[in-house]
Structure 1
Amino acid sequence: MRILKSMVRQPSALFGLAIVALLIFMAVAAPLIAPYNPDEQMFDGLTLEGAPMPPSAQFLLGTDTLGRDLFSRLLFGARTSLVIGLVANGIAVAIGLLIGILSGYMRGLVGNALMRFTDLMMAFPALLLAIVLAALLRPSLWIVAMVIALVNWVQVARIVYTETRGLVERDFILAERSLGAGHLRILFHHILPHLMPTAIVWGTLGIATTVLLEATLSFLGIGVQPPTPSWGNIIFESQSYFQAAPWLVFIPGAVILLTALSFNLVGDVLRDILDPTQRGRG
């Protein structure tokens, strides 16, 4: 409650929260809000020349190249993009926490091996690695989520490792060890609670990155496969009509941009609230 009160006092956080809440509502209520079936190809959804219909009273945001209502597809695409964003980023944060805590706490051979593996993963460009993994596997919603999670955990692991190294030298950890506390008790009762603010902030900020990466993969044709709508594959399917029907590219692109901006605004404010030492830093 204290965090929420602090956030609503800041205009940027309030704007971000409002947009995030609206997106979640649209995704959950898509079957009730959407005026048409997102996969329905309508005869009156194309002009006599076979071109997409522009925005009108019948089709609020126009139609796509197959005569499907763009507004309906954007609503259902929000479900796909947000589910992948939440699931993939949640898995990435969990993996990063596990590897970061273990490598920072255990040190020695195991800790060094985990960190060298993390460094190796960081050496690969995330987008290139995601493209390779997505191309090797048969793309689907859950496969894309897994691929994104496998390339996005390294930053979390590095941050958690650094913080864990500092925590294990603190007096209260040394006191627990002298009292005979086991490793699991120290990890879960003393170290992990101190790392949760970092996990929450990175979890929020990472959703924007995950949504953008999913859109990129879908735009390249190796993400979520049609007819399942996602914001990325809506742009991919319509790119050839960029000049004739620019709304097919600009509208989903603007939605992706607004989503990333909103989660970043919320994450930045959360960082300031949960870690006051970061306030004012770029």
Structure 2
Amino acid sequence: MRVLKAMLRQPAALFGLIVVFAVLAMAIAAPLIAPYDPDNQMFDGLTLEGAPMPPSSQFLLGTDTLGRDLFSRLLFGARTSLVIGLVANGIAVAVGLFVGILSGYLRGIVGALLMRFTDLMMAFPALLLAIVLAALLRPSLWIVAMVIALVNWVQVARIVYTETRGLVERDFILAERSLGAGHFRILFVHILPHLMPTAIVWGTLGIATTVLLEATLSFLGIGVQPPQPSWGNIIFESQSYFQAAPWLVFFPGAIILLTALSFNLVGDALRDILDPTQRGRG
């Protein structure tokens, strides 16, 4: 409650929260809100020349190249993009926490090996690695989520490792060890709660990166496959009509930009609120 009140006092964070909740609500209620089936190719959805229909009272955001309602596809595309964003980022944060805590707490050869593996993964360009993995595997919603998770956990692991190294030297951890506390108790009762603010912040910020990466993979044709709509493949399917029907690219591009910006604003606000070193500044 304290965190929510603090965020409501920040205009940028409030704007981000409103947009995030609006996008989530639209994704959840898509079957109720969408005026048409997103895969329905309508005869009156194309002009006599076979071109997409522009925005009108019948088609709020116009139609795509196959005569499907763009507004309906964006609503259902929000479901796809957000599911991938939440699932992939959740897995990435969990893996990053696991690797970072273990390497920072155990140290020695185990910690060194885990961190060298993390450094090796960080050496690969994330987008290039995601493209290779997506091309090798059969693209689907869950495969894309797994691919994105595999390339996004390394940043979390590095941050958690650094914080864990500092925590294990703190007096309260040394006192627990002297009292005979086991590794499980130290890790999950004393160290993990101190890392949760970092995990929450990175989890929120990472959703924006994940949504953008999913859109990029789908735009390149190796992400979520049609006819299942996602914001990225909507742009991919319509790129050749960019000049003749600019709304086909503008509307999905705008909603991707707005969603990513909103998650970043919320994440920045959470970092300022939850990070003790930021309190009292500004």
Measured against the shorter chain, the TM-score band is over 0.9
Partner of 2:115: 115
Deviations 1:241-278 (A, max 9, x none): 00000000011000000000000000000000000424
Deviations 1:205-235 (A, max 9, x none): 0000000000000000000000000000000
Matched residue of 2:233: which SS?
helix
Structure 1 gap ranges (5+): none
Corresponding pairs, count = 282
Structure 1 residues 43 and 279, CA, compared in 2 at 3 Å: closer, same or farther? farther
Shift of 1:280: 9.8
Q: Distance in 2 between matches of 1:237 and 1:228?
A: 12
Shift of 1:113: 0.1
Structure 1 residues 139 and 110, CA, compared in 2 at 3 Å: closer, same or farther? same
Deviations 1:106-158 (A, max 9, x none): 00010000000000000000000000000000000000000000000000000
Matched residue of 1:143: which SS?
helix
Deviations 1:188-216 (A, max 9, x none): 00000000000000000000000000000
Matched residue of 1:269: which SS?
helix
Structure 1 residues 279 and 268, CA, compared in 2 at 3 Å: closer, same or farther? farther
Structure 1 residues 123 and 279, CA, compared in 2 at 3 Å: closer, same or farther? farther
Shift of 1:281: 9.4
Partner of 2:98: 98
Shift of 1:14: 0.5
Shift of 1:279: 6.2
- Counting aligned pairs with the same residue, the percent is 90
Q: Distance in 2 between matches of 1:6 and 1:12?
A: 12
Q: Does 1:197 align with 2:202?
A: no
Shift of 1:57: 0.4
Partner of 1:36: 36
Q: Distance in 2 between matches of 1:276 and 1:180?
A: 29
Partner of 2:127: 127
RMSD in angstroms over aligned alpha carbons? 1.2
What TM-score, normalized to structure 1?
A: 0.99
Structure 2 gap ranges (5+): none
